[in-house]
Structure 1
Amino acid sequence: MRFHFKKGTLIFGGWILVTGVTTLVWLIALPGTSSFEIIDTIHESAVLAVSFLVLWFIIKIRSTLLSIGWAVFCYGNAIDLLDEFTKEPIFLTTYLDFICILVGLSLFVWGIILFYSKENELNERVLRNEEKYRLIFENSPVGIFHFNSDGVITECNNSFVKIIGSSYGKLIGLNILNLVDKKITAIVRETINGKPMVYEGEYYPVTSNKVIIVQGLLSPITSTDGKSVIGGIGIIEDITERKFMEEKLRQASEHDPLTGILNRLGFFKRVENILKLSKRYDKHFAVIYIDIDDFKMLNDIHGHTFGDNVLEKFCEKVNSVLRESDIFARHGGDEFVIALPETDEKGARAFADRIQEKFKLPVNIDKIELTINLSIGIAVYPHEGKSIDELIKISDKRMYQNKQNSSR
């Protein structure tokens, strides 16, 4: 609203100024002509211009129309009143012309001042915004970089230089499309084509020797008319440490803290994939359930620390006979479960025999000679169970039956 009012003041003030000056010139050039006749002629000739001006302001803003319209109304009526009551038109019209010049000049100058003050205000606001962006750009903890439509980096901040592990001089002018990593180049190409992209993965810099994991967001930058992409802006963050901590937390959530092998959660996550492959390719796989006999008694006699050492020694011996594809987990307490991919009943029994063979000889734990006895149950997919829960339930039941038989 302020912008339109200033432009209106400037235009209207200029019109009054031109009217007054023109009238004086005509009075000097044509002394026999009444200045009121001249003013009427100018006034009539200006009606069309004023009408367009009024219409323009009606479209733009109605409050500005009121101020301009009121000024025009007062100006026209002042001329009519003077024309009706004065007997000496030359003196009074000259005086009126002088007033018009002063008023018009004042309005004109005021309009110029207001107009350019607005321009200066806008320029200052732009400069302030640019300064804010510069501070954010330079001090941001995430890497920010600009690239043109050819994929060439044109600007970057200190965080970007630090994340990449290079130098500002090497990065400016670097063409991202020439990088060896095709995944990154494909993302930049898509951004240049006008599509925002997200990237997460390992980054192998061509200008440094380290490998990092980065997460980035790339957005296209369009021309002022919005018809073409002139480049893009990228924001990247080094998430190597975060990924490392996430992996540690995942490992902790899926592994038994005492023995280091998988817990129930980790076992079920991995064995689901074995079940899917066995269904797809019509393959067997076996589940072996193991219980350490009389483990509670060992804990009661020798203490929990001794019992923990027994569990660690047991896992060490079982791991020595496992294949890389086998999945070994602590199911709870002194009970363990093993999944054997592509293994039928015969293969599962041979594997169980190898485990029993490992524990035939006594082991030395905390200077105590101990023979570890095991009870084992076996279930094989798909004949004895279609799901992991069914296979574990059946193998657990058979393990318990074997324990009962061995105690007789």
Structure 2
Amino acid sequence: MAFSRWLWLYALVMVVLLALSMMPEIIFQSAHLWQSSVVTFGLISFALGFTWLTVGHFKSFMARIELFARAITDGNLNTPMPTQDDHGEVARIFQAMNEMQQQLSQHFNALRNEEAHNALLVQAINQSSNSVMVTDLHARIVYVNDAFVDNSGYTRDEVIGHTPKLIQSGKTSPLVYQQMRTLLAQGDSWRGELINRRKDGSEFIETVSITPVRDAQGQIYRYMAVKEDITEMRRAQDSIERLAYYDPLTDLPNRRYFLDQLNRKIAAVRRQSDQFSLIFIDLNRFKEINDSQGHVVGDKVLMEVAARFAAKVRDNDLLARLGGDEFVLVVEETDPKLLDSVVKRLLATLRYGVRVSEGRYDISASFGVAIYPHHGDNSADLLRHADVAMYQAKHSPSHVVIYDRRMSEKVEREVAIAGQLQQALKDGTGLELYVQGQFNITTRELSGGEVLLRWHDPLMGRISPADFIPIAEERGLIGALDKFVLQQSCQAIQQWQQQGRGLSQRLSVNVSMASFEQADFGIWLEQLLDRFDINGHQLELEITESGLMHNPKGALKTASLLKQLGISLAIDDFGTGYSSLAYLKQFNATKVKVDQAFIMGITDQERSQAIVRATIGMVRELGMQVLAEGVETEQDAAWLVAAGCQFAQGYLFARPMRINEFADSWLPS
């Protein structure tokens, strides 16, 4: 009941009590009735007036309190308390309420600022590109931001109340989670990488930083995880790393990665006093594919070979491509028989050639082996010695050769020869031309002469052509050597002409296919003839049969150009190569020289007789001359005459002599 009603009820009760108090006087007609009535009426009027004033004052007081309370309820804490000329308890109540208003205003402003701050924080977290997840102490998710929803594919309702196991892929190491739980249990933060799974099943990698959240008393009551998706960055890093450490053509480890792993292998094996083998692999005649078919086809062949090798090596073996057509393989086996088994396994992949879209290509490989630590205790020595062994394998019937110190000595000598030869070609020191006469085998008349190069180095002494010619070919010096011999030969012909010693026959000069196939070789030779003012009919070029077949189209083009200059061509060492008769005919040579391997002791060699007789018949049928090399006995000469051979050279007729001695002996002045 309202307080004002209680006051009116109280006044009414008082009036009733006054009325009841006068009842006896009214009933007994007391003499003092009039006076009592006046007093009673006065009391009643006073009571009613007092009550009226009290109720009014109270309503005013309550109205002001209600107005103040509604203003506070509406959040308007700046509305002043309606005051009057209040005193006493009322004044103190209103003063207390004003103070309460000020306190509430301060707290409200603080709460409003905090709310604004929290709203800004929540907005920032929701708009962050990093995923944010908050869990309780039981690892149940209580909050995730928009980035988490977008990245995981789960809605908030699907994750709230669940644990982070919902997005685990199972591919993160258990040790990572163990370390995480240990640090968080200690109240520390944890940072690491996790492999998680989205709702659609796709996996992603993210860096995660988990921090304990403490309340005002410093107690941990939440954990907040801030996560960044680094999947694309990791893919980019992997791609960069792959480019840095893997060969883009074959997808095998490259030289940089191989050397790093080889050094690690050496360090590990050294601690264990163990050993292993390094196999250096080089494809044979791969350059011919590049030269004849182009690098696009060559690359396809390399890719196929690499794939076949990779399919045959084991997980603990290390196969890499060093560059070009060179591969290396590290294996545990060191026993020669086991190594031979490894090599045969790889060779078997090339047994039937390599087929790519452009065709099928026969290819083989040579293998050089160096064993740690016997053949080197560091990566550089192992690679160098395995390379040396591989080089020997190329010239060995076996496909695999294990390194031996004598191989390095041979290589060192070859390097020294190459260096001295390069210097000799610059100043001509020690290089000298010899000529061996060529004769009509029947009349014994001079039919020409073959120029031979001899070399006596001031430091190394006399070096055989069998030693320095292959070195010149392998190290790119053969072109300069060919030009040196041709220049010296043309100069000698010019001098003979000036001395009145006319050379009616041709002077024959050996030329390597490396020079013969050069596009400008014919033009250079034409300029050489003009320079020394000699006729091309005085010169003959000899090329080997196997050399002819190296690049038939290029050789035939050069042959055609030289024929226009009057220079004749001879095929040297016929019978030792693999040329076809069709190319032999197209080459249009004027002479074929039968190799001395078939001539020496031919009277006692029926198979050699059959080969030489067939060669003579075929060559003469093609309209070419036949010259037999290495004729040393009259019996051999007689047999050749009977077989129809026209020309010969050898010790039976003349030994090689210095070019000036040849002129003095065979060219009349």
Q: How far apart are the structure 2 equivalents of 1:365 and 1:154?
A: 60
Contact kept in structure 2, 1:165 and 1:210, CA below 8 Å: no
Query: Does 2:204 match 1:216?
Result: no
Contact kept in structure 2, 1:177 and 1:185, CA below 8 Å: no
Query: Does 2:301 match 1:313?
Result: no
Which residue number in structure 1 is paired with residue 249 of structure 2?
258
Residues 395 and 246 of structure 1: CA distance in aligned 2, closer, same or farther (over 3 Å): same
Supply the AA of the counterpart residue of 1:202.
Answer: I
1:352 CA displacement: 2.3
Secondary structure, aligned partner of 1:377? strand
Secondary structure, aligned partner of 1:308? helix
Supply the AA of the counterpart residue of 2:318.
Answer: I
Q: 1:48-87: per-residue Cα shift (whole Å, max 9, x none)?
A: xxxxxxxxxxxxxxxxxxxxxxxxxxxxxxxxxxxxxxxx
Alignment of structure 1 residues 316-331 onto 2, 5 Å: 316-331=307-322
The correspondence for 2:142, drawn from 147, 154, 158, is 154
Query: Does 2:154 match 1:166?
Result: yes
Q: How far apart are the structure 2 equivalents of 1:165 and 1:280?
A: 51
Query: Does 2:393 match 1:402?
Result: yes
Alignment of structure 1 residues 369-408 onto 2, 5 Å: 370-403=361-394
Which residue number in structure 1 is paired with residue 117 of structure 2?
129
Alignment of structure 1 residues 9-408 onto 2, 5 Å: 122-175=110-163, 183-184=176-177, 187-188=180-181, 190-203=183-196, 209-226=201-218, 228-365=219-356, 370-403=361-394
Q: How far apart are the structure 2 equivalents of 1:251 and 1:212?
A: 20
Contact kept in structure 1, 2:301 and 2:354, CA below 8 Å: no
Q: How far apart are the structure 2 equivalents of 1:157 and 1:178?
A: 16
Structure (1 or 2) with the larger CA radius of gyration:
2
Contact kept in structure 2, 1:193 and 1:229, CA below 8 Å: no
Q: How many residues align?
A: 299
Q: How far apart are the structure 1 equivalents of 2:282 and 2:361?
A: 16
Supply the AA of the counterpart residue of 2:229.
Answer: D
Q: Among all aligned residue pairs of Structure 1 and Structure 2, give the percentage whose two residues are the same amino acid.
A: 24
Supply the AA of the counterpart residue of 1:264.
Answer: R
Answer with 315-324 or 270-279: which moved more: 270-279
Contact kept in structure 2, 1:285 and 1:344, CA below 8 Å: no
Q: 1:188-211: per-residue Cα shift (whole Å, max 9, x none)?
A: 563253101013122368x87554
For structure 2, which runs of at least 5 residues remain unmatched after alignment? Answer: 1-97, 398-469, 472-669
1:322 CA displacement: 2.0
Q: 1:130-159: per-residue Cα shift (whole Å, max 9, x none)?
A: 121011122222211222233332222122
1:375 CA displacement: 2.7
1:233 CA displacement: 1.1
Residues 234 and 185 of structure 1: CA distance in aligned 2, closer, same or farther (over 3 Å): farther
TM-score calculated relative to the size of structure 1: 0.62
1:220 CA displacement: 1.2
Supply the AA of the counterpart residue of 2:206.
Answer: V
Q: How far apart are the structure 2 equivalents of 1:169 and 1:395?
A: 65
Contact kept in structure 1, 2:152 and 2:197, CA below 8 Å: no
Contact kept in structure 2, 1:161 and 1:168, CA below 8 Å: yes
TM-score calculated relative to the size of structure 2: 0.39
1:250 CA displacement: 2.5
Contact kept in structure 2, 1:285 and 1:380, CA below 8 Å: yes
Q: How far apart are the structure 2 equivalents of 1:185 and 1:163?
A: 25
Q: How far apart are the structure 1 equivalents of 2:141 and 2:310?
A: 52
Q: How far apart are the structure 1 equivalents of 2:377 and 2:258?
A: 17
Q: How far apart are the structure 1 equivalents of 2:197 and 2:305?
A: 42
Q: Normalized per residue, which structure has more helix?
A: 1
Q: How far apart are the structure 2 equivalents of 1:208 and 1:359?
A: 45
Q: How far apart are the structure 2 equivalents of 1:330 and 1:355?
A: 15
Which residue number in structure 2 is paired with residue 39 of structure 1?
none
For structure 1, which runs of at least 5 residues remain unmatched after alignment? Answer: 1-109
CA RMSD of aligned residues (A): 3.7
Residues 199 and 320 of structure 1: CA distance in aligned 2, closer, same or farther (over 3 Å): closer
1:303 CA displacement: 1.8
